[in-house]
């Protein structure tokens, strides 16, 4: 994972909220990854190896970022004067998040004051690339789990686009997969879509109890016993490549969508166009998602879900936040990713993620952008 700290004097609110109704606090970044031990701070060699020693010292190993280094200095126990022997240190290990091989996420939180500029991850059968936008701290999050404990490969993947703060996206990344799998475990195979729905609603209920503002759009993919179950609540989207043809598996939930507009108005709300964007109550530009307590009467967490049986011509699945889809069409996204993933001796899905993000950036996207490419052939039975 490449992380750069960027100093910016200007922070503006999330574009999902109108300026008059909400402002976005700067959140802390959190991604599903393996637990990483903090680096052990080693004093400079000058303090470890004085030129003159009055007593013998014991040889010991210095641990640096989990790497056993040779002793920085050593001496015989029978000598009273030591000339230091300095060994060149290896560079510190780069901490790259890896997915946990279970449905229980392990998480890494940056130190106070840190801000992620980009995140790149390569896992088992998937790759992720996230790029901070130009409006403030990154509010996108993701989660990814692969499980081998049931005799076949199962997996859960998600992309979460926060607005009005990062807390809802962080909470969904931590809890959505576990909540869905808990429901799947107690329901029959025929009720898997109902289990996913309950997992979304449970995650929403748990987050609302935190009494924290903000919300998050969600798109998830569950691979379970030969089925691909794709769900969304909000404007994150899932697009699959099937023999090179883009197949859209989700529909965006925005107030401009006629069915969503009718649902909101039937509940006593209103939808209007504010500075060129359709919003609920003149405020929010998405109509479903996790959180948004102040608009919960109209912004529901119930997902729409599509289930298909995995087939050999399923090539890859793209999960991405609206920072991509506002600038790139579904087929363009497939055409950008496919040359780096299909028909090559060594696929480069992480490079494909970056190419898609860069395409959106060159077309003027200012939003946070997250792209996950899942190689479906890795999970076909």
* Average pLDDT of the residues in 101-115: 45
Percentage of residues in the chain having pLDDT higher than 70: 69
- Does the pLDDT at position 168 exceed 70? yes
- Does the pLDDT at position 316 exceed 90? yes
Q: What is the pLDDT of residues 81-98, one digit of tens each?
A: 444 444 445 444 444 333
- Does the pLDDT at position 272 exceed 60? yes
List the one residue out of 161, 157, 167, 158 whose CA is nearest residue 133: 161
What pLDDT score was predicted for residue 151? Answer: 61
- Does the pLDDT at position 329 exceed 60? yes
What pLDDT score was predicted for residue 20? Answer: 41
- Does the pLDDT at position 190 exceed 70? yes
List the one residue out of 269, 264, 166, 260 whose CA is nearest residue 217: 166
- Does the pLDDT at position 19 exceed 60? no
Mean pLDDT of the chain, nearest integer: 77
DSSP code per residue over 52-110? --SS-----PEEETTEEEPPS----TT-S-------PPPPPPP------SSSS--EE-P
* Contact in structure between 184 and 225 (CB atoms under 8 Å): no
What pLDDT score was predicted for residue 193? Answer: 94
What pLDDT score was predicted for residue 152? Answer: 67
Q: What is the pLDDT of residues 30-66, one digit of tens each?
A: 344 433 333 333 444 433 333 333 444 443 333 333 3
Triad 231, 143, 315: Cα angle to 5°: 60
Higher pLDDT, 161 or 17: 161
Report all structural domains of the chain as residue ranges with CATH numbers, in order of start. Answer: 31-36+96-378 (3.60.40.10), 38-94 (no CATH)
What pLDDT score was predicted for residue 118? Answer: 85
Q: What is the pLDDT of residues 221-252, one digit of tens each?
A: 999 888 999 999 999 999 999 999 999 999 99
Q: What is the pLDDT of residues 121-148, one digit of tens each?
A: 999 899 999 999 887 888 999 999 988 7
Give the span between the Cα atoms of 380 and 117, in whole angstroms. Answer: 34
- Does the pLDDT at position 103 exceed 80? no
Higher pLDDT, 182 or 54: 182
């Amino acid at each position: 994972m490449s992380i750069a700290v960027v100093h910016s004097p200007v922070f503006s609110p999330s574009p999902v909220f109108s300026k008059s109704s909400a402002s976005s606090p700067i959140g802390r970044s959190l991604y599903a990854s393996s637990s990483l031990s903090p680096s052990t701070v080693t004093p400079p060699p000058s303090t470890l190896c004085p030129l003159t020693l009055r007593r013998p010292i014991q040889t010991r190993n210095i641990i640096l970022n989990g790497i056993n280094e040779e002793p920085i200095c050593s001496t015989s126990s029978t000598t009273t004067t030591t000339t230091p022997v300095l060994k060149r240190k290896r560079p510190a290990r780069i901490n790259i998040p890896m997915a946990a091989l279970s449905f229980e996420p392990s998480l890494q939180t940056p130190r106070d004051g840190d801000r992620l500029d980009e995140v790149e991850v390569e896992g088992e059968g998937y790759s992720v690339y996230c790029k901070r936008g130009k409006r403030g701290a990154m509010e996108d999050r993701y989660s990814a789990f692969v499980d081998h404990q049931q005799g076949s490969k199962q997996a859960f993947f998600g992309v979460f686009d926060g607005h009005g703060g990062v807390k809802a996206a962080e909470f969904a990344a931590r809890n959505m997969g576990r909540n869905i799998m808990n429901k799947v475990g107690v329901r029959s195979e025929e009720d898997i879509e109902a289990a996913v729905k309950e997992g979304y609603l449970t995650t929403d209920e748990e987050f609302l109890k935190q009494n924290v503002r903000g919300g998050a759009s969600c798109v998830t993919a569950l691979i379970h016993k030969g089925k691909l179950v794709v769900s969304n609540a909000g404007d994150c989207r899932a697009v699959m490549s099937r023999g090179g043809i883009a197949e859209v598996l989700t529909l965006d939930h925005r107030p401009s969508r006629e069915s969503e507009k009718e649902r909101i108005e039937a509940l006593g709300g209103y939808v209007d166009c504010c500075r060129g964007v359709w919003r609920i109550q003149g405020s929010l530009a998405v109509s479903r998602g996790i959180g948004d307590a102040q608009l919960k009467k109209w912004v529901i967490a119930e997902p729409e879900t599509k289930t298909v049986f995995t087939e050999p011509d399923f090539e890859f699945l793209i999960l991405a936040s609206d920072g991509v889809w506002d600038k790139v069409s579904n087929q363009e996204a497939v055409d950008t990713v496919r040359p780096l993933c299909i028909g090559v001796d060594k696929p480069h899905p992480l490079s494909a993620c970056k190419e898609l993000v860069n395409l959106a950036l060159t077309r003027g996207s200012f939003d946070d952008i997250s792209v996950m490419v899942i190689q479906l052939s890795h999970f076909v039975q």
